[in-house]
């Protein structure tokens, strides 16, 4: 069977504490002793049990991550990767709680399965209300957010400015001559809205600020059964058609872009397109989009979590990360339509 710390101690002719210290505080043990202990441990396949360490220390060595959509989503998986990179090294695991229905939400906040079983809670891109934040706080562990709308009640948070980022996109389109602009967003049957609302509001606000000559439209595309279909059909039916499109995410922009081309529309000829995220394929397909770095946000959130666990405070609790409009090939200055006669002139 598995060797215990006693077995190692016995073989090495030292006490269990020396074995323990060799692993966790090597500086307190003489080099020679430590070496011997480690060799024997190695040969016995011995490793410190994290469960015991956790129990003893009163920690759980576990961080809870709350998400409102699948882990496989671009944003979530990148935050997770960043988090994990930092936390794993410090001996923490991440428990993921996906809360994507009203029932799941209610169940989660009723049972708080995280109680005493997580050393911190990370709320990721989640439209949490203040009553829920209080319940979380009630657990007496740090509560950290990633892209949450309201930092109130959080010990720390990292975000981007969804609203401003979207406004930058609109201003760019306006500056290159576009006057009819649409925003395409999904609607979920779930109790969460991620950053979608913020982005939409930024869009609307920027259009308004651009003056009355700018006509804006918002297209709502139900996530089920298929938002792409909904987006494409609504878009094609718009009359007059917009000349530029802002999307809530690249995930939406990429397939719509494809479909529009299949319907004979040219990009950026007929439509200029701006995505949001700068996700997987964006640069390779030349998508103009708003860049953000969720992996880095995950790493920074992890550092804040560690700091909070350690010292109960963190130097810079609230941090807003920059985004950047990446100008690529799906946007172009607005060119007024040429008359039918001139169509093939060139």
Which residue ranges make up the site for DNA (CB under 7 A)? Answer: 2, 4-6, 13-18, 20-21, 23-25, 28-30, 32-34, 46, 48-49, 52-53, 55-58, 116
Distance from the first to the final alpha carbon of the chain: 81
What would the two tokens of residue 23 be? 């692993």
Q: How far apart are CA 66 and CA 64, in angstroms?
A: 6
Provide the minimum distance between the beta carbon of 107 and DNA in the complex, in angstroms, as a whole number.
21
Choose between 46 and 271: whose C-beta lies nearer to DNA.
Answer: 46
Please give the backbone phi and psi of residue 66, each rounded to the nearest 5 degrees, phi first: -100, 125
Return the one option of its own copies, DNA, none that residue 280 interacts with (CB less than 5 to 8 A, by type).
Answer: its own copies
Chosen residue from 284, 312, 341, 343 binding its own copies by CB under 8 A = 284
Helix (H, G, I), strand (E, B) or coil at 201: helix
Q: How far apart are CA 169 and CA 275, in angstroms?
A: 9
Choose between 258 and 318: whose C-beta lies nearer to its own copies.
Answer: 258
Is 299 one of the binding residues for its own copies (CB under 8 A)?
Answer: no
Q: Which residues contact 311 (CB under 8 A, 6 or more apart)?
A: none
Is 50 one of the binding residues for its own copies (CB under 8 A)?
Answer: yes
Closest CA to 184 of 147, 151, 219: 219
Note the residue count of the chain: 346
What would the two tokens of residue 164 be? 């401003």
Identify which range of 55-63, 143-151, 166-174, 299-307 contacts its own copies by CB under 8 A. Answer: 55-63
Return the one option of DNA, its own copies, none that residue 17 interacts with (CB less than 5 to 8 A, by type).
Answer: DNA
Provide the minimum distance between the beta carbon of 157 and its own copies in the complex, in angstroms, as a whole number.
22
Choose between 51 and 88: whose C-beta lies nearer to DNA.
Answer: 51
Choose between 133 and 181: whose C-beta lies nearer to its own copies.
Answer: 133
Residues 8-27 that bind its own copies (CB under 8 A): none
Is 130 one of the binding residues for its own copies (CB under 8 A)?
Answer: no
Q: How far apart are CA 287 and CA 275, in angstroms?
A: 7
Return the one option of DNA, its own copies, none that residue 33 interacts with (CB less than 5 to 8 A, by type).
Answer: DNA
Q: How far apart are CA 276 and CA 279, in angstroms?
A: 8
Q: Which residues contact 122 (CB under 8 A, 6 or more apart)?
A: 63, 64, 65, 66, 83, 144, 145, 146, 301, 305
What would the two tokens of residue 37 be? 């202990």
Is 278 one of the binding residues for its own copies (CB under 8 A)?
Answer: no
Name the site residues for its own copies (rule: CB under 8 A): 1-2, 45-52, 54-55, 59-62, 70-72, 74, 77-78, 80-81, 84, 88, 93-97, 112-113, 115-117, 138-140, 226, 228, 251, 254-255, 258-259, 262, 280-281, 284-286, 295
């Amino acid at each position: 069977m598995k060797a215990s710390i006693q077995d190692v101690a016995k073989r090495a002719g030292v006490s269990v504490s020396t074995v323990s210290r060799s692993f966790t505080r090597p500086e307190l043990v003489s080099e020679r002793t430590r070496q011997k202990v480690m060799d024997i441990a190695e040969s016995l396949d011995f490793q410190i049990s994290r469960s015991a360490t956790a129990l003893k220390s009163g920690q759980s060595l576990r961080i809870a991550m709350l998400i409102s959509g699948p882990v496989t989503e671009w944003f979530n998986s990148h935050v997770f990767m960043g988090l994990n990179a930092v936390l794993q090294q410090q001996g923490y695991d991440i428990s993921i709680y996906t809360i994507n229905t009203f029932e799941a939400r209610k169940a989660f906040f009723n049972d708080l399965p995280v109680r005493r079983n997580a050393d911190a809670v990370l709320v990721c891109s989640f439209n949490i209300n203040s009553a829920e934040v209080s319940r979380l706080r009630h657990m007496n562990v740090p509560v950290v957010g990633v892209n949450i709308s309201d930092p109130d009640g959080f010990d720390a948070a990292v975000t981007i400015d969804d609203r401003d980022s979207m406004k930058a996109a609109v201003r760019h389109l306006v500056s290159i001559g576009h006057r009819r602009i649409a925003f395409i967003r999904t609607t979920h049957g779930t109790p969460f809205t991620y950053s979608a609302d913020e982005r939409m509001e930024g869009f609307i606000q920027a259009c308004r600020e651009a003056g009355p000559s700018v006509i804006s439209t918002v297209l709502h595309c139900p996530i089920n059964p298929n938002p792409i279909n909904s987006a494409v059909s609504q878009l094609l039916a718009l009359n007059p058609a917009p000349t530029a499109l802002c999307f809530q995410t690249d995930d939406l922009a990429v397939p719509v872009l494809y479909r529009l081309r299949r319907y004979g529309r040219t990009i950026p000829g007929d439509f200029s397109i701006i995505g949001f995220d700068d996700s997987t394929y964006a640069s390779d397909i030349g998508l103009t989009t708003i860049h953000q770095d969720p992996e880095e946000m995950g790493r920074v959130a992890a550092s804040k979590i560690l700091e909070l666990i350690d010292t109960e405070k963190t130097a810079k609790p609230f941090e807003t990360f920059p985004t950047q409009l990446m100008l690529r090939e799906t946007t172009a200055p607005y060119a007024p339509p040429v008359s039918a006669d001139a169509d093939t002139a060139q």
